[in-house]
Chain A
C-alpha cells in the first residue's frame, strides 16, 4: 500500500545531503564548540532514517549495502583501540593529545587524536540507531 510520496522523496533526496553535511560539520566542530561524535553520529543517522522513511527498506539497502551491526561493532572497536593506543606511548588509558601541522591548502591545522576516538563513537551511534530503527520497523 504505497501512497503517492513524490514530494517526500524529492525533498528528502536534497535534504539528506544537507543533513549529512551538517552532521559532518557537527562532528568536526566538536573539538572547540558544541558538537562531537555522538551528536554528529545522531545527525548522520537521522539522514539514513529519513531515507528509510521516504523510500522502502529494500531500495535503501540496495543503494547503501552496509551491515549496520558490523558498522556499530567497528565503531566501538575503533573507540576502544584508540583508547588503548595511548598505552603504547606509556600514558594512561584514553589519554589524548594534539599538535599543529602545516598542511598544504589548509595552512596551520590542529590535528587531535580525539577525532579518531570520536569517529569511532560516531560510527557506533550510526550503526546502533539505524539497527534499532530498522529492526523495530521491519517487524511491524
Chain B
C-alpha cells in the first residue's frame, strides 16, 4: 500500500478545486497554489528517494489488483520527471503571482494551472494506458482553458487550431487503445508488455505501435510540430513557460514509456523511424529558429529542436543514450521554463517582439542580461551548465549505436540553438542603448526571482550532476530492462 503515490496528482486537484471558493481573494489564490505545489514537490522528492532505496512502488486504486484495476507505478524515471515538473511549476506560479495579471486571475488562472500540473503528474505516474489517456485529457482541458483565458483575438484564433489538433490526436489515441484492447485484451502497461513479448510483436502490433508513435509525436511536437510555434506565441508569459516546460515533455515521456516498455521488439522498424523523425525535427526546428525575428517564435522552435534531440536518445536505444536523454529531459524542463520566462520578461520590459527593434538592454537590466546569457550557454550545452551531460551522453550513445547521421545532426542542431539565441543576445542586449533610463519599465524583484532561481538551478544541476547520477542511472536501467518494471507493477510474474 503506497498511498503516498496519489498525492502528486490529487493535491493539485484538491487545491485547485478548493481555490475556486476563494475567487475574490487574490492573495489566497496566489500563495495557496504555490504552497500546494511546494508540498507536491517535497512529497515527490521523498518518493524519489524511497524508490531508489526500496525499488519501484505501486498503488492499486480501490485495492483492485493489477491487471484489472487502475494502478499508479512510480519508478525513478517517472519520479524524476514529477519532481522536475513540480519544481518548475512552483516557479511559474511564483512568476504569475508577481506578474499580477488581474483579469486572468479573476477567471481562475491558478486553479487551471494546478489542474494542468495534476494532469501532467498523473500522466507520469500512471501504469495503465487508458488512465494515461484520461490524465492527458485532464492536462489538455486545462491547457485549452489556459490557452484561451483572457480572450484576446490572437489567443482565440490560435486556440481553435490548438484544440482541433489535440482533439484529433486524442481521437487517434483512443483508436490505438481500441485496437490494442481488441488484439491483446488488456490495458495495463506491464501486462501489455508481457503479452506483446509472448506474441513476439507481430506486424499487426508494430502497426499499432506506429499509431501510438503518431499520437505521441503530435503531443510532443516530433515532426508534427506545425501547431506549436503559433500556439505558444499567443500565451501570457507564465503560462507559456509552463506549457513549454511540461506539455511536450509529457509526449516525450509517453514515447519513452511505450517504446521501451511495450514495443521494444522491433527496433529496426520503430526506432529507425523515430530516429529519422528526430533528424527531421531537429533540422526543421533549426531552420525555424534561425529564420524568424520574432523572439517568441525563436523560443518555440527551440522547444522543437530539444524534442528532436531527446528522441535521438531513444532512437539510439542503448543505456548510455537513454541515460543522456533522461539528463536532457530534466535539464530541458527547467531551462525551457527559464527561457520562456526570460523571453516573456523581455517582451514585458520592451514591448517589442522582434529582436532588431531594441538594443543595449544590458545597460538597463544588467543582472537580467547576464542571466539570459547563462540561459543561452545552458541551452547550447556548454560544459558547466546542465545541458552538457545530456548532450555528451546522447552523442556517445548514438555513435556507439552506429547512428552517425543522428549524432552529426544532433550536434549541428546545438549550434543552431546557440546561433539563434546568441543573435537575440547580441542585438537586444548589446549595442547602443535604445531605451532611456527614465523610460525603462522596471523588472521587479518578484519577476526576477523565479528567473534567478532557475538560472542558479541550471548551473547547480550542471555542477552537481554527481548527486543526480544514481537516480538517472536507476531510471535508465529500468527503462532498458522492462522486466524490472513488470515484476513490480504486476503482482507475480505471469
Q: Which residues of A contact B (CB under 8 A)?
A: 69-70, 73, 76-77, 80-81, 83-84, 86-87, 90-96
Contacts and interface: CB of A to CB of B under 8 A. Distances in A.
A83 B7 CA distance: 12
A94 B14 CA distance: 15
Interface in B46-102: 59-63
A96 B14 CA distance: 20
B10 A84 contact: yes
Interface of B: 1, 3, 6, 10, 13-14, 17-18, 20-21, 59-63
B3 A93 contact: yes
Contact of A80 (B3, B13, B20): B13
A80 B1 contact: no
Contacts of B1: 90-92
Contacts, number: 42
Given A92-B3, A93-B6, A80 B17 contact: yes
27 contacts: A69-B20, A70-B20, A70-B21, A73-B17, A73-B18, A73-B21, A76-B17, A77-B14, A77-B18, A80-B13, A80-B17, A81-B14, A84-B10, A86-B62, A91-B1, A91-B63, A92-B1, A92-B60, A92-B61, A92-B63, A93-B3, A93-B6, A93-B59, A93-B61, A94-B62, A95-B62, A95-B63
A137 to B, nearest CB: 19
A96 B69 CA distance: 13
Contacts of B18: 73, 77
Nearest to A124: B17
A76 B13 contact: yes
A36 B482 CA distance: 39
Contacts of B62: 86, 92-96
Given A87-B3, A91-B1, A77 B59 contact: no
Given A92-B3, A95-B62, 13 more contacts: A73-B17, A73-B18, A76-B17, A77-B14, A80-B10, A80-B14, A80-B17, A86-B62, A87-B3, A90-B1, A92-B59, A92-B62, A93-B62
Nearest to B71: A92
A16 to B, nearest CB: 28
Nearest to A93: B6
Contacts of B63: 91-92, 95
Interface centre among A77, A86, A93, A95 (most CB of B within 10 A): A93
Nearest to B5: A93
A77 B17 contact: yes
Contacts of A92: 1, 3, 59-63
